Amino acid sequence: MRGVTLLLTGILIGSAVQSAVGQQDRFVGLNHVGIVVANLDEARQFYTKTMGFREAWRNNQTTTFVQVSRDTFLELMPSTPTRPPGLDHFGFQVDDAHATTARLKQAGLTTSEVRISPSNLFVSSITDPSGIRFELHQVRPDSLLKKAMDSWR
């Protein structure tokens, strides 16, 4: 139930943020949902073989991105003693991660600095007023995300 609540809250917050900032920043859409799993190999098998989604890429053999549609992914991460299985975060694709992160920081949200991810995206982490974490992703031309989206059939 916690997972469903987190997902629905994320979608509602995303819709509200997109409506509120349409003129200043462009939120392209909901890009991914981060899921912590008890067994990464079993989760990969489930989402690719049983569900029929394709594995888009792996980061350092510890994170797997599964492509649900051209623009939507599941990020599978292994559980740890401090990170139990369940929904972990969600991610928005934005046109400008630097500008959007700066504006959200100015609005009082807790933000990380924009960095380049292992998959070569601009990414930052944001915590909303309820303590729910989300990420902002800006697609770079040579990113694994762009390659996966471009190769979608």
pLDDT at site 78: 96
Residue pair 56/73 in contact by the 8 Å Cβ criterion:
yes
Query: What's the predicted TM-score (pTM) here?
Result: 0.80
Average pLDDT for 58-72 = 92
DSSP string for residues in 50-62 = IS-PEEEEEETTT
**Is 80 exceeded by the pLDDT of residue 71?**
yes
Task: Give the Å distances, CA to CA, from 133 to 53, 108, 130, 147.
Answer: 25, 14, 9, 26
Interval 3-28 mean pLDDT:
54
Assess contact for 147 and 87: CB atoms under 8 A.
no
Rounded to an integer, the average pLDDT of 21-35 is 81
Range 2-150 classified under CATH 3.10.180.10: yes
Nearest-angstrom CA–CA distance, 5 and 24:
29
Q: Is the pLDDT of residue 73 over 50?
A: yes
Q: What is the mean pLDDT of residues 67-93?
A: 96
For 93-132, write each residue's pLDDT tens digit: 999 999 999 999 999 999 999 999 999 999 999 999 999 9
* Listed residue (136, 30, 44) closest to 73, CA to CA: 30
